[in-house]
Amino acid sequence: MRIGRQRSASEKMCRACRAIGLCPKGAAMNKSDLNAQKETYRLSVIIPCYNEMATLQRCVASVMSIASDNLTLEIIIVDDCSTDDSPAIATELAAQHSIIRLLRHEKNTGKGAAIRSGISEASGDFVAIQDADLEYDPKDLVRLIEPLAARKADVVIGSRFLSSGPHRVLYFWHSIGNKFLTLLSNMLTDLNLTDIECGYKGFIGTYLTTS
């Protein structure tokens, strides 16, 4: 996957950290900033799905609730060869709502492959990933794309460690492993991310390409 044009290291750091509120050059955005924009944006939400029959319908309903006059949605459910009733639920949802599309894998190939399949079909101005298990609140998708809409970032990566509100507790060794991987990523990229494993990521749609 390639993201955008090549930039200097300093420019890449500024744009990346500005997206998650760490750069002193970037002013913090209010929650209503997206609705204040005059433009209308289209957000493609990719939902990788594997045996998520218990939460899939609620997840899609929550994603649909963020649509507004300024934000239209394209929801792409990618079923990764589920063995439960997830495909039937997704098929019914797609039949009921024109903004929902269903892609199906003939064999299980993993979340990464599901995301790549979704990206190849996405047509929105912005692209975001939403886990079907509702670990992340879809209402946060609006906050995720605000820096993209304001042209302050090309990529926005969420963080479970920067939120001041209630958040899910991580297992100790999981958090240690996450911090270690994030440290390695920061060393290689010269960025200052805080949660490389966070599932919430937003992109400028035209910057995503798949091989």
| Confidence tier at 25 by pLDDT (50, 70, 90) | very low
pLDDT at 171: 66
* Triad 112, 3, 120: Cα angle to 5°: 50
* Predicted confidence (pLDDT) per residue in 131-155, tens digit: 999 888 898 899 889 999 999 988 8
Instruction: Tell me what the pLDDT averaged over the chain comes to.
Output: 79
Domains of the chain: total = 1
Inside any domain, residue 170: no
The answer to the question of residue 192 being in a domain is no
Q: In which band, very low, low, confident or very high, does the pLDDT at 24 lie, cut at 50, 70 and 90?
A: very low
Residue 114's domain spans which residues?
Answer: 7-24+33-161+197-206
* 176 located within any domain: no
Domain contains 190: no
CATH of the domain at 90: 3.90.550.10
Backbone dihedral region for residue 30 (phi beyond 0: left; psi -120 to 50: alpha; all else: beta): beta
User: 146 lies in a domain?
Assistant: yes
Q: State the sign of the Cα–Cα–Cα–Cα dihedral 73, 44, 136, 11.
A: negative
